[in-house]
Chain A
Amino acid sequence: MRFSRLLIATTVALSLASPLSAKTLRWASVGDALTLDPHAQNEGPTAAMNQHIYDPLIQRDPSLKKIPNLALSWKPISPNVWEFKLRPNVKFSDGTPFTADDVVFSITRVLSPTSDFKTYLASVKEAKAIDPLTVHMITDGPNPILPDQLTNIFIMSKAWAEKHNVTKPQSYKDKEETFAVRNAMGTGPFMVKQRDPDIKTVLVKNPTYWGKDEFKDYPDELVYTPIKEPATRVAALISGQLDFVLDVQLQDVARVKQTPGLKTLESAQIRAIFFGLDVGSPELKYSDVKGKNPFADKRVREAMYKAIDINAIKTKVMRNFASPAGIITSQGVNGWTKELGARPPYDIAGAKKLMAEAGYPNGFKVTLDCPNDRYNNDEAICQAVVGMLSQIGIQIDLQARSKTLHFPKLQKKDSSFFLLGWGVPTLDSHYVFSFMYQTNDGKKNGSWNFTGYSDPKLDGMIEKMAQETDIEKRDGLIADAWKVARETNAYLPLHDQVIVWSMSDKVDMPIFATDSPYFRYAKMK
């Protein structure tokens, strides 16, 4: 009996393992989505999986412009109210119609305590369904960037969530996993066929997808396998076992380009890499200078900035996969300009002079904290800078750690000098200012400002920026704020990372600077 069951199982498995059809796209990257619950984990790989199943109201196109998705149009109808007109005739993949109720439900779910996206919608007091295709969102003050924030918020089916008891995002306190962790019900181009976390995820075309006339030729099936080891990932691509790899290591890109049948796409990523300096403490915690803080002196910061040979880092450390930056945000973010992006020239003599003027002709000792598993070649960047700064007498004790140790250390404000990177999901400078420059009040504002930098004037500009609905005036505020911020050198900008997507010649798709692939845009030959 047991044997016959085994035999049947084997036959079934063998028959299922029929040759893959031409329209299957097999892809890989380093880590799997943590959950399919669209509001539980605000994390890159999780969004990269969920965006194929769930739709937001407003989406980014390949040039990162906002385009309609589930909302056809949006406008503020009074200072505190945004109106959204929804797309008609949209169905979830179980065939139930999509209405304003689902939007209200999803927004409410995002605002609940266990959601990891609630800070995006911190300004939203409530969402109201006016009619089946109209939603009003009431904010606690004017919020000009609500549409940008909504590009990160996915819409779920209310009926499905209620049926499966997942009206709140998963919580770590629960003993069991919720139904939404491995199951999903969205309006997106794909739906879940198989989900084995960390092992394999198969998505198939959603037959009820509203965009099937617009996106005609996208693959019938997406097979995702997380592959942790970079060498294995690239080997699988070269040997033809994968069609697309999101994150080939920079040193392997040349090998991929040489291989017939493979190609790469490159784009500057929306993520700037930079150093942060403790400018606020009266005395540096990790330095041999006692009684005063050398980083509090503007001249020292400028000297360090000038002593960093960014071209050497770009060509030697980054193998040209970086674009030097002059501010701590990237091209593509509202507020970035060419002038802001320019750096002062590399100038050791000038730097030495500044150090002498500041009273440190012989330099000083300081500890640099650096992650070694977070950004492209992060530890190598730090090693290069150790050599560069020693030329102006600054002796660095480099402490490279895993991100699980590096970030908690920063959050405890236990670092004098650190490497950090910052991506901008809203693509607006306010996101950079409010997290990186605003005075860290220990609550909401400046929560990633570990420099101790605090300027009431700049704080005021940031507050205004958040409320100003007149686009022109607001852009003016952003430009002024960047001028102030850039002058301070509380951060020493390095570069924007360049992302490289590697794929088979059979795949035709645009690259997204967000480093998140939208396979609805993919075509397979």
Chain B
Amino acid sequence: MLSFLVSRLLQAAAVMTAVSFLCFVLFNFVGDPINNMVGQEATQSERAELRHQLGLDDPVPIQFVRFLGNAAIGNFGKSYRMARPVEQLIVERLPATLELVFCGALLALLLGIPLGVLTALRRDTWDTRAVMTFSLAGVAMPTFVSGILLIYVFSVECTGWVAWLGLPTGLCLPSFGRGDTVKIGWWSSGLFTGTGLKALILPSATLALFQMTLVLRLVRSEMLEVLRTDYIKFARARGLTNRAVHFHHALKNTLLPVITVIGLQIGGLIAFSIITETVFQWPGMGQLFIQSVQFADIPVMAAYLVMISFFFVTINLIVDLTYAVIDPRLRVDRARAVGNAH
């Protein structure tokens, strides 16, 4: 077990180094930050001087080694755009993204699992067909379209239809931002204020839409599979109630693969949140990253990508370890094969 862990950790470190090197090569194509950092009046010698100060005139491998050396001691440098230490920027933005991802994932599970079960049990009914059609739209629609659509319905046109229904216009939702936040230590949370919770609804719904349809379809197909198995037939033959058969025997065996997939999707959610954050002006890390790309703010881009690869590597590692722990049939080599399949 220990040697397995060590080898996985070494692999993780190798992956992260490779990712950061690829980032550095890519940065050469993102553009030159100097023009964004000085006014149009700056002379060519001033520009050259700044480029030299920042070490941007050094060859890429030297810049990369310098970056690794600094990153190893936790120093990601200072943002070219905001003149603030990168670690500080990321720590400030992390809570917004994680709260959004948490709410999005929760929403996806709370809606996706029951709907998946329901559509599996009530095959060929009109409500199942309606849900399945809707889920197709959810899978197919790009996040920015669903986000703008939600803004249009629940924010822009809202006062109209809310008044028509005779409801208070306070039900309309904000189209941007995080609302008021509360500081708990360094963590800024929007979960404890009215405006904060209201502001969470549309972005987390947007983020959840794709994941929810994924969970729904996964649960449904797993459930249909399980319902055909012998032990379910046997359970019915024993005269168990529908309720016990469906929820105690069938659903339980359905959830194992679902949990695995969801674990891996969390990393994807953080990545998807870039688009959601842009549409809703959600002050999270994804937005920070997009703005940094446009400015060619290399220190922020590098730190963000390293951090995201760290998340992915960690989640993968945890999933692999859980396999090994949960299922004693899986030997170490088997677990490795499963891990690599992702």
C-alpha spacing A14/B180, complex, angstroms: 8
10 A-B pairs in the complex with CB atoms less than 8 angstroms apart: A6-B182, A9-B182, A31-B291, A120-B41, A173-B53, A229-B281, A402-B31, A404-B294, A405-B31, A435-B40
User: Contact: A241 with B175, CB < 8 Å?
Assistant: yes
Asked if B337 lies at the interface with its beta carbon under 8 angstroms from chain A, I say no
State whether A117 touches B39 (Cβ < 8 A). yes
**Knowing A42-B38, A239-B155, A407-B35 touch, does A17 contact B83 (C-beta < 8 A)?**
no
**A373, B294: Cβ atoms closer than 8 Å:** yes
Chain A residues with a Cβ under 8 A of chain B: 6, 9-10, 13-14, 16-17, 31, 34-35, 37, 40-43, 116-117, 119-120, 170, 172-178, 181, 196-200, 225-229, 231-233, 235-236, 238-241, 373, 402-405, 407-408, 411, 423, 435, 442-444, 447-448
Across the interface, do A13 and B182 meet the contact criterion of CB distance under 8 Å?
A: yes
Q: In chain B, what residue has the closest Cβ to A7? A: B192
Number of chain B interface residues as a range:
35 or more
B residues lining the A interface (CB < 8 Å): 30-47, 50, 53-54, 75, 78, 80-85, 148, 151-152, 155-156, 158-159, 172, 174-178, 180-184, 192-195, 278-281, 283, 287-288, 290-291, 294-296
Task: Please state if B43 and A402 are interface contacts (CB–CB under 8 Å).
Answer: no
* Inter-subunit contact A9/B177 (CB<8 Å): no
User: Given the complex, which residues of A lie within 8 Å of B278, measured CB to CB?
Assistant: 228-229
Smallest CB–CB gap between B298 and chain A, Å? 11
Closest to B53 in A: A173
Q: Given the complex of chains A and B, what is the CA–CA distance between A236 and B176 in angstroms?
A: 7
A271 to chain B, nearest CB (A): 11
Residues of B within 8 A of A172 (CB): 37, 50, 53-54, 78, 80, 83
Let me know if A41 and B35 touch, CB within 8 A. no
- CB-CB under 8 A from A41, the residues of chain B are 37, 39
Contact in complex: B78, A174 (CB < 8 Å): yes
Say whether A34 contacts B83, CB under 8 Å.
yes
User: Whose C-beta in chain A lies nearest to the C-beta of B30?
Assistant: A404
Known: A120-B41, A176-B78, A232-B151. 5 other contacts (CB 8 A): A34-B81, A41-B37, A177-B82, A226-B281, A228-B281
Q: Which residue of B lies closest to A174 (CB)?
A: B78
User: In the complex, how many angstroms separate the beta carbon of B28 from the nearest chain A beta carbon?
Assistant: 11
**How many angstroms from the CA of A226 to the CA of B43 in the assembled complex?**
30
In the bound complex, CA of A178 to CA of B84 (Å): 8
- The 8 Å CB contact of B283, one of A14, A177, A199, A444, is A199
Q: A46 vs B169: C-alpha distance in the bound complex, in angstroms?
A: 36
- A37 vs B82: C-alpha distance when bound (angstroms): 11
Task: Determine whether the beta carbon of A227 is less than 8 Å from that of B85.
Answer: no
Task: Sort A-B residue pairs by CB-CB distance and give the 4 closest, nearest first.
Answer: A42-B39, A404-B31, A408-B32, A119-B41
Q: B83 contacts A40, CB within 8 Å? A: yes
Contact A235-B43, Cβ < 8 Å, known A172-B80, A229-B281, A402-B294: no
